[in-house]
Amino acid sequence: MSLLELDDVSVTYRIAAGEVPAVRGVSLTLDSGAALGVAGESGSGKSTLAMALLRLLPGDARVDGRILLGGEDIAAMKWGRLRAVRWAEASIVFQGAQHGLNPVRRIGDQIAEPLLVHGLAKPEGARKRVTELLEQVGLPAWRARSYPHELSGGQRQRVMIAMALACSPRLIIADEPTTALDVMVQAQVLTLIKELVAEHGISLIMISHDLSVLADVCDQLAVMYAGRVVEHGPSAQVFHDPRHPYAKALAAAFPTVGDPASRMAPKGLGGDPPDPMQLPTGCAFHPRCPVALPECASTDVELWPAGPGRVAACVHVRAKEDAS
Ligand code: ADP
Ligand code: MG
């Protein structure tokens, strides 16, 4: 059985100016122990989707569709169950979360907190577990007594990962976990995440604008544009042989992991991603697409088979499959 199942999930923010369709009809599954990468430029709906998975969205967000975690409908969970799930079954490492550490509390106490709050350990057991967790993320045991300002950015991100691991979750959602770090440190933290999920059989959803980072860590890749998944498949294939013109642009923009020159907006791709409140007609990517046809301005293509285990939402992919 899949650990996580998303069935036609949409998220709409209701603001004074109207409705913001941030995520549109996303269906994905994640098997136990698998790692899924979610790529896309800023504004494509990645964080909104991540927050929807654990019902962390603000009250003005409406979620349609169905999200099953271990077969259990997230929307139907009572508050107490949801709280337990957020630590013990799935935890999130946010972008820049390292700045969210409490500056006046020691690292060890902050890592121990979820264990104590959820009654998973007594104080003595929690201390031992903190030492073990620090070791797992490559920090010496004495760091438990440090305050956040005594650590580097990379070390703080390691602490965030230790906190995410504390209650032995089955799933970790990492939202741009290394984007705020410099390149060398970024590579070290990625290696750490990769090793930890493999060693402990944890499932991973990793979010990044950098396709090369995701291809390095994940088995499967989903590329999002304007709230939709436009391509999905095995990560090596999506990265080295992308089918959707947007996935092609992303793959070309981030050729190697952590390349400092390509960390900004995708090169060679003109314009900006659309405002969700003013989505283009037809395929949302058509105004920026180098291979758009006249019909792309009026017809939005569904995800279409693009080879074994692969799908892509592009008229060219459909034409090719039709011909074969
Ligand atoms: P990403 O993580 O891919 O950068 P987000 O999920 O943060 O994308 O945002 C997707 C879209 O939803 C953006 O257009 C953003 O402006 C909008 N958005 C995000 N949060 C809110 C909110 N709380 N209220 C209204 N719109 C929002
Ligand atoms: Mg984001």
* Nearest atom (ligand 1) to Cα of 44: 3
Identify the residues whose C-beta falls under 6 Å from ligand 1: 13, 15, 20, 22, 40, 42-48, 58, 276
| Residue whose structure tokens are 């935890």 | 91
> Does residue 171 contact residue 145 with C-beta atoms inside 8 Å?
no
Distance 283 CA to ligand 1 centre (A): 20
Q: Reduce the DSSP state of residue 39 to 3 states and report it.
A: strand
In order of their start, the domains of the chain are: 4-89+169-247 (3.40.50.300)
Name the closest-CA residue to atom 26, ligand 1: 13
Instruction: Give the separation between CA 77 and CA 83, rounded to whole angstroms.
Output: 9
Instruction: Give the separation between CA 192 and CA 179, rounded to whole angstroms.
Output: 15
Task: Answer whether residue 262 shows pLDDT above 50.
Answer: no
Name the closest-CA residue to atom 5, ligand 1: 45
The DSSP string of 64-113 is: EEEEEETTEEGGG--HHHHHHHHHHTEEEE-TTGGGGS-TTS-HHHHHHH
Name the closest-CA residue to atom 14, ligand 1: 43
Q: Which of 20, 24, 26, 57 to mutate to test the pocket of ligand 1 (most atoms within 8 A of CB)?
A: 20
pLDDT, tens digit (0-9, with 9 covering 90-100), for 263-283: 455 566 778 899 999 999 999
pLDDT, tens digit (0-9, with 9 covering 90-100), for 232-253: 999 999 999 999 999 999 888 8
Distance 285 CA to ligand 1 centre (A): 18
Radius of gyration of the chain (CA): 20
Name the closest-CA residue to atom 15, ligand 1: 43
> pLDDT over 70 for what percent of the chain?
94
Q: Reduce the DSSP state of residue 239 to 3 states and report it.
A: helix
Taking residues 77-83, report their average pLDDT: 92
- Structure pTM? 0.92
> Does residue 213 contact residue 194 with C-beta atoms inside 8 Å?
no
Per-residue confidence band for 118, with pLDDT thresholds at 50, 70 and 90 = confident
Distance 45 CA to ligand 1 centre (A): 6
Task: Among the bound ligands, name the one nearest to the CA of residue 21.
Answer: 1
CA angle, residues 32, 36, 39, in degrees to nearest 5: 165
pLDDT of residue 1: 72
pLDDT of residue 280: 95
Taking residues 132-145, report their average pLDDT: 94
Instruction: Give the separation between CA 129 and CA 184, rounded to whole angstroms.
Output: 28
Distance 43 CA to ligand 2 centre (A): 7
| Residue whose structure tokens are 């992303």 | 250
pLDDT of residue 257: 56
Distance 24 CA to ligand 1 centre (A): 12
